[in-house]
Structure 1
Amino acid sequence: MAEIILHHYPLSLFAEKIRRIFAYKRIAWRSVEQPMMAPKPDLTPLTGGYRRIPVLQIGADVYCDTACIARRLEQLQPEPACLPADQAGLAALIEDWADHRFMSQVVPPVVVELLPVLPPGILIDRAAMSPAMNEDVLRRAAPHALGQVRLSLDRLESQLRGRPFLLGDAFSIADAACFHPVWFLTKSVGKSVGKSVGMSARLSAEIEARPALAAWFARVEGFGPGDVRPMTAAEALAIARASEPADVAGEESAAGEELRPGDAVTITADDYGPEESRGVVARLSATEITVRRRDPAVGEIALHFPRAGYRIRKQ
């Protein structure tokens, strides 16, 4: 199988979700560090308009959104499992809550703390993706958001009392999804933006005040960095150019489905980020869509998205 390549950057919340899964499953992977801000000239040949991080690449197959990435990793290496078959619905509900509501609570207070060390222009870049990332909006939102964070941390503390992980004895996608917002609150943020600024004592104290949560955080962090080696963006693009899409066979549209293989579509996130990706439908299931697209820099790519959280429009 082609090497597993993650396009990411160190301070990305959602990339940390996938990095924890790599470490838990002991999957060897290659790290391509992408810019925090647009333009991303070494990413868009793979994804079209999509600019979110992380993106998973395996040859000429490119997976967008951590929900899609995590499920592909589970297919490639089922053990140890991150998607417990007997609690799949509950795990997915917790994942969705953490990736959307919990994450949206954490971002304002953390970003306000980070303002002195963030790269110039990053909030202008993020405000183009979502009006909520405007500096004035973030400053006004931060006090209320921190209060909501405390309520969410209390819920996690309650769930973790008497058990090592959120769903019981084993790490799961629920833990990966809840870990990355907590990690964003507690890590030493300065190193990730190239400046010597330590972790926020005010925010990290919120974790330390909850012993079951703090023990869980240390447990997941204790998986370590995993088996990772760097790769340049040029190398990753060369791999895509030399490869053909491999993950395109399987499910087709179900009864009542308006879309069909061969339809030209646009795909856009339904929460933030107006960028579109375009392609021709190659495969459909109830939960995912795969489209083929062509770029002069890399040739044909199969682009994979979850259906939850994305608007898919037939052209």
Structure 2
Amino acid sequence: MVEIILHHYPLSLFAEKIRRIFAYKKIAWRSVEQPMMAPKPDLTPLTGGYRRIPVLQIGADIYCDTACIARRLEQLQPEPACLPADQAGLAALIEDWADHRFMSQVVPPVVVELLPVLPPGILIDRAAMSPAMNEDVLRRAAPHALGQARLSLDRLESQLRGRPFLLGDAFSIADAACFHPVWFLKKSVRTSVRTSVRTSVRTSVGMSARLSAEIEARPALAAWFARVEGFGPGDVRPMTAAEALAIARASEPADVAGEESAAAEDLRPGDTVTITADDYGPEESRGVVARLSASEITVRRRDPAVGEIALHFPRAGYRIRKH
């Protein structure tokens, strides 16, 4: 069986979304830890420029963006389901809200509190991806963003009263997407306390504890968080980046068959395109269209380090430019 490989790093919000799905579905996976900042010399041969985390690798098939990754995992292991057929639209709407609006509310206050313990240069790196990640901008945005995050936490608290998960009795993609911003609030206090003990950096611990207390003050939300966290780390084993690249080099793209979608507009298999996120991260991935659907695009590309690769992206949230 081809191994399922996740390229990520421990503090990544979006990687935690996928790690929760792995744990819930009890999918065995291999962990390749990538740098938090560019350059990422062991990732770009796979993605052709896309640098956001996480990235899923299955042989020579590379899945970018958690929306695409989650749906591939659902295809590989349908049970227990994370995409409820009878609530697919609602689940997708909550996922999009959490991944964009809720996440943008949580990041400024948490990052500001984590600044004493984050790697030097991290915000210079992130500002190259988005002007909103400039330190001055983040500091100015943090108070308002925290107020908005409280409103979102209240909405989650209201939705979770009387039910174990956001859509009812079972965990779903909606829970995975809402969990990772809440996890980031919790992570701020854990990271700050752990680092303060190690380095005597204590300035951010008090505020970070207050951020975490926002969760504890909402009993249904706190119980839900403990429930999802209780899935544990899952069946995970480490892998080196060199091993992952060797697997890609020894493999051929396997997930490229399928019909062209009528929703593909003027795009056709064989077209050369560049794909770029429409919110942050200006890096482009270039390839030849192999498959199109209403929701995803697959392109083939070749890299000297790994040979032929198939790159998979969701169409929502990405600009596709034909050449």
Deviations 1:229-261 (A, max 9, x none): 000000000000000000000121316721000
Output the CA distance in 2 between the equivalents of 1:63 and 1:193.
38
Output the CA distance in 2 between the equivalents of 1:152 and 1:314.
38
Output the CA distance in 1 between the equivalents of 2:41 and 2:120.
19
Gaps of 5+ in 1: none
What is the count of residue pairs matched by the alignment? 314
The CA deviation at 1:208 is 0.3
Output the CA distance in 1 between the equivalents of 2:317 and 2:242.
30
Hey, which bits of structure 1, 4+ residues long, moved more than 3 A?
187-199
Identity %: 96
CA contact (8 A) 1:13 1:181 kept: yes
Is 1:154–2:162 an aligned residue pair? no
Deviations 1:68-89 (A, max 9, x none): 0000000000000000000000
Output the CA distance in 2 between the equivalents of 1:277 and 1:144.
35
Deviations 1:45-90 (A, max 9, x none): 0000100000000000000000000000000000000000000000
CA contact (8 A) 1:11 1:192 kept: no
CA contact (8 A) 2:22 2:234 kept: yes
Output the CA distance in 1 between the equivalents of 2:75 and 2:125.
35
CA contact (8 A) 1:10 1:192 kept: no
Output the CA distance in 2 between the equivalents of 1:153 and 1:168.
18
DSSP 3-state at the match of 2:206: coil
CA contact (8 A) 1:63 1:69 kept: yes
Deviations 1:105-126 (A, max 9, x none): 0000000000100100000000
The CA deviation at 1:196 is 12
CA contact (8 A) 1:190 1:198 kept: no
CA, structure 1 residues 193+35, in 2 after alignment: closer, same or farther (shift >3 Å)? farther
CA contact (8 A) 1:9 1:36 kept: yes
DSSP 3-state at the match of 2:283: coil
Deviations 1:274-300 (A, max 9, x none): 000000000000000000000000000
190, 197, 206: which one aligns with 1:198:
206
CA, structure 1 residues 197+31, in 2 after alignment: closer, same or farther (shift >3 Å)? farther
The TM-score, its normalising length taken from structure 2, stands at 0.94
Output the CA distance in 1 between the equivalents of 2:86 and 2:163.
17
Deviations 1:3-39 (A, max 9, x none): 0000000000000000000000000000000000000
Deviations 1:111-153 (A, max 9, x none): 0000100100000000000000000000000000000000000
Deviations 1:147-191 (A, max 9, x none): 000000000000000000000000000000000000000x99999
Which structure is higher in helix share?
Answer: 2
The CA deviation at 1:198 is 9.4
Gaps of 5+ in 2: 186-194
Is 1:51–2:51 an aligned residue pair? yes
CA, structure 1 residues 271+256, in 2 after alignment: closer, same or farther (shift >3 Å)? closer
CA, structure 1 residues 139+196, in 2 after alignment: closer, same or farther (shift >3 Å)? closer
The TM-score, its normalising length taken from structure 1, stands at 0.96
